[in-house]
Amino acid sequence: MTQETIQKAMISSLKSGQVDNWDNLMWSVGSSDTPTSEDSVTAFSAANQLPWLLPTRRTSLLEYFSCPKVKDALSPELDNYLHELSLNKPNNRLGTYFERLWSFAFDKHPDYQLLYQNLPLRSGGKTLGELDFVVQHLPSNQCEHWEIAVKFYLQVTDIHWVGPGIKDRLDIKLARMADHQLPLIEMPAVQSMLKKHGLEIDRQWALMPGRLFKPLDTFRRPSSHDLWWVSLSEFRSFSLSQANRSALEWLALPKQAWLAPQSSTTGMTADQLLEALLPESFTHPLCIAAVDKNGEACRGFIVPDNWYQRAKSSLSI
């Protein structure tokens, strides 16, 4: 049995957060882009080069799906749509789930016509890349290429943000979007292929909601809506301090619950959570939410004790 399998079995005993597809859709269309939320990230040149979706466009999407009549009509349809996809095309990746939410949004919003999703770009037998979404924006009658991603990063240095699995880095992702994914449509071979599809891209948008987690200040209780990460040993010490043995309870979040805030008001005690997280078997970061009588209070990642050193080593600095 692998360490990952052992940890999955260990975490399966925890009280889990709930996945609400409609709440996740609302979060996906309404959340601001991660790189615009943190000064140390907006300093990256790639973050300033990307054509982030205009706030007015995001507001239009959010207002439509916020309408109670729209929710009543479409929420069951969204659940069925995602269920059918999971049966016919099983995929547990959070990025795929996020794309499926956007596919539904484009299909149902009256301002959009979904033309292509994950359009492959090939030339001479070589795959050059793909376009996440090609849509027609009906009010402006313009054909648009949308490049989207949902990303969660933990701060390792003042300017470096690393994914929980240490396989992804924010500055590298931004640079790839700016230098490769969006400029693809300018390549002559791609231009020729787009013409064969009857496409002429009028404009492009970048979209990257997510969350950025900073090291937990273990000397104080997290404030409302704080986003933090902490090692297992430090979380154990933090939770044992009298100041933090409070009304907060905890939920373990499966990946599809990483999007919208949790509405639950009950979870596990810190003791119950820590009882299940055995240091020798805890090898992968765990996303958790703290809840109180008002719902989700804050959110963070508990990481293995060696995670920070491994993350820092991955930077090669």
Q: Which two tokens stand for residue 47?
A: 């973050």
- In this structure, the strands spanning 249-252 and 286-292 are antiparallel
Predicted local confidence at residue 143, as pLDDT: 98
Q: Is the pLDDT of residue 37 over 80?
A: no
pLDDT of res. 4: 63
Give the C-alpha separation, 285 to 211, whole Å. Answer: 15
Other Cβ atoms closer than 10 A to 36: 14
**Torsions phi, psi of 10, nearest 5?**
-65, -45
* pLDDT tops 70 at residue 152: yes
The per-residue pLDDT for 317 is: 58
**CA 221, 222, 228, 229: dihedral to nearest 10 degrees?**
20
What torsion do the CA atoms of 269, 266, 227, 162 make, to the nearest 10 degrees?
A: 70
User: Does 154 have pLDDT greater than 80?
Assistant: yes
Tell which wins on pLDDT, 101 or 35.
101
Distances (CA, A) of 75 to 20, 30, 66, 68, 163: 10, 16, 11, 10, 31
Percent of the chain with pLDDT over 70: 93
Percent of the chain with pLDDT over 90: 69
Which range (24-33, 196-205, 218-227) has the least confidence?
218-227
DSSP string covering 155-167: E-SSS-EE-TTSS
Residue 52 structure tokens: 């982030």
In this prediction, residue 124 has a pLDDT band, given cuts at 50, 70 and 90, of confident
Q: What is the mean pLDDT of residues 24-43?
A: 86
Q: What mean pLDDT do residues 103-121 have?
A: 96
Please check whether residue 161 is in contact with residue 41, taking contact to mean a CB–CB distance below 8 angstroms. Answer: yes
Mean of the pLDDT values across residues 279-302? 92
CB 135 within 8 A of CB 112: yes
Backbone φ, ψ for residue 291 (5° rounding): -125, 150
pLDDT band at 38 (very low <50, low <70, confident <90, very high): confident
User: Residues 6 or more apart from 286 whose CB is under 8 A from it?
Assistant: 11, 252, 277, 301, 302, 303
The domain locations on the chain are: 19-153+166-211, 213-313
| Range of lowest pLDDT (32-41, 72-81, 260-269) | 32-41
pLDDT confidence band for 55 (50 / 70 / 90): very high
Mean of pLDDT over the chain: 90
Question: Could you give the residue ranges of the DSSP H alpha helices within 177-231?
Answer: 188-196
> What residues have CB less than 8 Å from 127, skipping those under 6 apart?
120, 121
For the segment 237-287, what is each residue's pLDDT rounded down to a tens digit?
888 764 555 668 999 999 999 999 999 989 999 888 988 888 888 999 999
What does the pLDDT read at residue 5? 65
How much is the average pLDDT of 127-146?
96
Interatomic CA distance for residues 256 and 97, integer angstroms: 7
- On the question of pLDDT at 218 being above 70, the answer is no
* Per-residue model confidence as pLDDT tens digits over 162-178: 999 999 999 999 999 99
